[in-house]
């Protein structure tokens, strides 16, 4: 039985791009929450929105860092497999 490795490099690169977008959104959550707080029309509710959003800054920063690292890994792996596939195909054709 032949073993095969199939890697969807496009999906990996797309996952990297998507993860980078999510990390960016998370990173800007305080700005978004401050805008929402300013629009709710009630001082107590605005304070609660700000408190909630800013209350998990440390945890969110860790998540952003992890997502960014995973985004880089997905993109890097996808690019590396695509390049390897090109090199192997060239070698099979007798090209250098």
Choose among 67, 69, 74, 73: nearest CA to 13.
74
CA–CA distance, 62 with 57 (Å, rounded to integer): 9
Residue 47 CB contacts under 8 Å (≥ 6 apart), including other chains? 37
pTM higher than 0.85 for the full model? Answer: no
Query: Maximum CA pair distance of the chain?
Result: 72
**Burial class for 82, CB neighbours closer than 10 Å (0-12, 13-18, 19+):** middle
- Using one digit for the tens of pLDDT, what is the confidence trace for 19-78? 999 999 998 888 888 898 889 899 999 999 889 888 888 899 999 999 999 999 999 999
């Amino acid at each position: 039985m032949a073993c095969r490795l199939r890697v969807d490099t496009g999906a990996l690169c797309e996952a990297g791009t998507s993860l980078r977008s999510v990390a960016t959104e998370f990173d800007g959550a305080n700005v978004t929450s401050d805008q929402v707080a300013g629009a709710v029309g009630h001082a107590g509710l605005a304070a609660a929105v700000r408190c909630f959003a800013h209350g998990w800054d440390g945890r969110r920063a860790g998540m952003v860092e992890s997502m960014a690292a995973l985004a880089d890994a997905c993109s890097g792996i996808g690019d590396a497999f695509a390049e390897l596939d090109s090199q192997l195909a060239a070698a099979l054709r007798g090209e250098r």
